[in-house]
Amino acid sequence: MAITGVLRPGHMQLKVLDLDEAVEFYSNVVGLVQTGRDATRAYFKGWDERDHHSLILRDAGEAGMDFYGFKVADDATLATLEADLKNYGVTTERVPAGDLLETGERVRFQIPSGHLIELSSQKTDVGNGMGYINPPPWNEAAERGIAPIRMDHALLYGPDIEKVQALFVDVLGFYLVEHILLEDGKTDLAIWLSCSTKAHDIALVRNEEPGKLHHTAFLLDSWEKVLRAADLMSMNRVTIDMGPTRHGVTRGTTIYAFDNSGNRFETFCGGYQSYPDWEPLTWTWDEVGPAVFYHDRKLNPAFLGVYT
C-alpha cells in the first residue's frame, strides 16, 4: 500500500471549563457539527469529516488536552503498531471499544513529552452529509460558523521532543518535515512531523513543563475563508492571539485564537504538500520570527508563554 499504518489525526479530547458554554462555542462560532454526547463529553466533527468525531470536549473545570489520537488503517495495523510500541519499550494500554462513542478499541501510551497519544482503527463512518453517490461539492454545514473542513493537527508543548521524534519516526512511520533550531544550532526548539502528505499531522515545541497543549488546528480551504473566520471571531468577541497571517513553517495561513476555556485553537489554510523523501526544512534561531509569523518576522509575546 502507498498509504498505510497511521493515516491521520483521529481525535483530540480537550478539557473545558464549562461544557455547555464550550458546546455553544464549538457549534456556533467554530462551526463544528455535533455528533454525540455522553455523561461528561460532547463529540464534534468538521463538516467534511466522515468519522463520527474528531474533537471531544470534556467537562473538566480546567483547560488542556486529555489525549490526542490517530486513526490507523485497520485492526491488523493497530495490533502491529501496538507490538512495535512495546518492542520499542513503550508501555501501552487498551481502552475498551465504546469508551468513546462509536469508536473501537484504542491503544494508548504516553510519549516522552508527557502527552497521552492513542491509536485506533474503528470509528463509525457517519458521512459528511452529502452522501457518497453524486454528491455536491459542499452543503450548508460548510457555512455554519467558521466551519472548518476537519480537525487538522495539534501542536504540543513538552520536554524531550527528540525522543518523541524518534518514537514517531521509528515506530509510527512519521517523517520530519520542518524544524526550528535553538541558539546552539543543534538542538531543536520545534519539530513538525507528518504521516501523510500534509506538512504536519503533529508538531512539538520544547518546553520544560510536560503534557501541554499549544493549539488544536482546524482546516479552512482558502485565504478568503481565513478572512471570514477572523470576521466571525470579531463578531463573536473571540480573542484573537495572532493573525490573519502566514507561517514561514509550512507556509500555511493562520489565525490563532482562544476558546472560552482559554484553549488556543488555529484556523489554518494551505501549506504545501510534502513527501517523505524530501529533505526537511531547517529554520535557524535568528529566523525563528519569520519561521513562526512570516509577515511580522517576530514572535508575539503569547506564542511561547501561553499554553494549556
167-226 residues near a second copy, rule: CB under 8 A: 172-175, 194-198, 221-224
Residue among 141, 71, 57 at smallest CA distance from 103: 71
Considering only residues 128 through 167, tell me which ones interact with a second copy, judged by CB under 8 A. Answer: 132-138, 143, 149
Instruction: Give the integer Cα–Cα distance in Å for 71 and 69.
Output: 7
DSSP category for residue 238: P
Q: Taking CB under 8 A as the rule, does residue 292 contact a second copy?
A: no
Out of 23, 63, 291, 292, the residue judged to bind a second copy by CB under 8 A: 291
* 200: annotated active-site residue: yes
> What is the length of the chain?
308
Segment interacting with a second copy (CB under 8 A) among 22-30, 55-63, 153-161, 272-280: 272-280
**Count of chain residues binding a second copy (CB under 8 A):** 72
Q: Tell me the sheet residues that pair with 257.
A: 240, 265
Instruction: Give the integer Cα–Cα distance in Å for 113 and 212.
Output: 9
Q: Taking CB under 8 A as the rule, does residue 296 contact a second copy?
A: yes
Count of Cβ atoms closer than 10 Å to residue 104 Cβ: 17
Q: Taking CB under 8 A as the rule, does residue 124 contact a second copy?
A: no
Segment interacting with a second copy (CB under 8 A) among 28-36, 38-46, 102-110, 284-292: 284-292
| Shortest distance, position 39 Cβ to a second copy, whole Å | 29
Instruction: Give the integer Cα–Cα distance in Å for 177 and 166.
Output: 14
Out of 27, 80, 110, 245, the residue judged to bind a second copy by CB under 8 A: 245
Q: Taking CB under 8 A as the rule, does residue 6 contact a second copy?
A: yes
Q: Taking CB under 8 A as the rule, does residue 230 contact a second copy?
A: yes
Q: Residue 19, exposed/middle/buried by CB under 10 A (0-12, 13-18, 19+)?
A: middle
Smaller CB distance to a second copy: residue 144 or 210?
144
* Three-point CA angle 217, 192, 306, nearest 5°: 55
Smaller CB distance to a second copy: residue 115 or 247?
247
Considering only residues 33 through 72, tell me which ones interact with a second copy, judged by CB under 8 A. Answer: 48, 50, 71
Q: Taking CB under 8 A as the rule, does residue 115 contact a second copy?
A: no
Q: Taking CB under 8 A as the rule, does residue 87 contact a second copy?
A: no
Cell of 73: 488503517
Residue among 63, 9, 16, 64 at smallest CA distance from 213: 64
Q: Which of 49, 105, 118, 266 is catalytic?
A: 266
Which position has the grid cell 521524534? Answer: 165
Catalytic residues: 153, 200, 215, 247, 256, 266
